[in-house]
Amino acid sequence: MTDRIDILGTGVDDISQKEAIEAIFQLARSKSRGNCVVTVNSEFVMMARRNKEFRRILRNSNLALPDGQWVVFSKLILGGKVHDRVTGVDLVEKVCRRCAKRPIRIGFLGGFSNVAEVVSKRQKKANPGLQVVFFEAGDPTMGYDLRLKKDIDRVGRIDVLFVAFGMGRQEFWIERMRKKLNVGVFIGVGGAFDYLAQVKRRAPKPWQDLGVEWLWRLLHDPVRIWRMRVLPAFFVLVLASFVKRQFLSSSK
């Protein structure tokens, strides 16, 4: 078990990328059902503050991984020790690499048009022996649930299903379906398929290492400014939480 650091009411696991990949691999091997992995950024945290159900979903996940750099920084100043980010793109690539040549069945759900299919083919090419048994764009709306359930049931057991419906939509879909499908581990990966299919270009490695991949995305997709408007409030609230903890600690 890893420690969960409370960030404004949302618990985030203090875990390295390597440990996260191994934990997912072990969940997939266990042949249990309905496990859930979420990748938490600052927008998740702020949404969870407004939406009680979303907060509950994040709390009940098997792993809540630190995706955004602002979440990693917040985790560190609030008591965490691990510096790693664990992004959706990295999860897809490294989980597939870990599961290649093993009896673990992989599925890709989400994205636009044939993006899921493109990602599945790229991962099979990069990881010979990877068992990809499902890929579909799907739809996270409730009216599509029955059709999607039939499509997934048709292929049998899926040990790891990457779900790329976008923030919130994928988590609510997983919560509805996690007990209805023969899926071992659901992993919400946001817009990862677009980068893996090279529909969008990921930030160069130096930008990632500096923790400013969010800025790269904003520069190349200015519409994201609407989603990212919560960042200043997030930063102020985290600092206030840190100061409060320091004050309470010193007053004891």
Residue 108 in this model has a pLDDT that exceeds 70: yes
| Per-residue tokens: 154 | 């048709």
* DSSP secondary structure letter of residue 222: G
| Per-residue tokens: 196 | 């893996």
Domain coverage including residue 145: 4-250
Q: How many CB atoms lie within 10 A of CB 247?
A: 9
Residue from 12, 35, 25 nearest 91 by CA: 25
Residue 45 in this model has a pLDDT that exceeds 60: yes
Residue 38 in this model has a pLDDT that exceeds 70: yes
> In the chain, how many domains are there?
1
Mean pLDDT value across residues 8-16: 96
- The whole-number pLDDT of residue 184 equals 98
- The whole-number pLDDT of residue 234 equals 86
* DSSP secondary structure letter of residue 199: S
* DSSP secondary structure letter of residue 204: P
The pLDDT tens digits for 186-239 are 999 999 999 899 777 665 676 666 566 656 565 666 665 556 677 778 888 998
Residue type, 57: I
CB-based contacts of 66-70 (< 8 A; 24+ apart in sequence)? 66/12, 66/13, 66/15, 66/40, 67/39, 67/40, 67/41, 67/190, 68/40, 68/41, 68/42, 68/43, 68/214, 69/211, 69/212, 69/213, 69/214, 70/41, 70/42, 70/214, 70/231, 70/234, 70/235
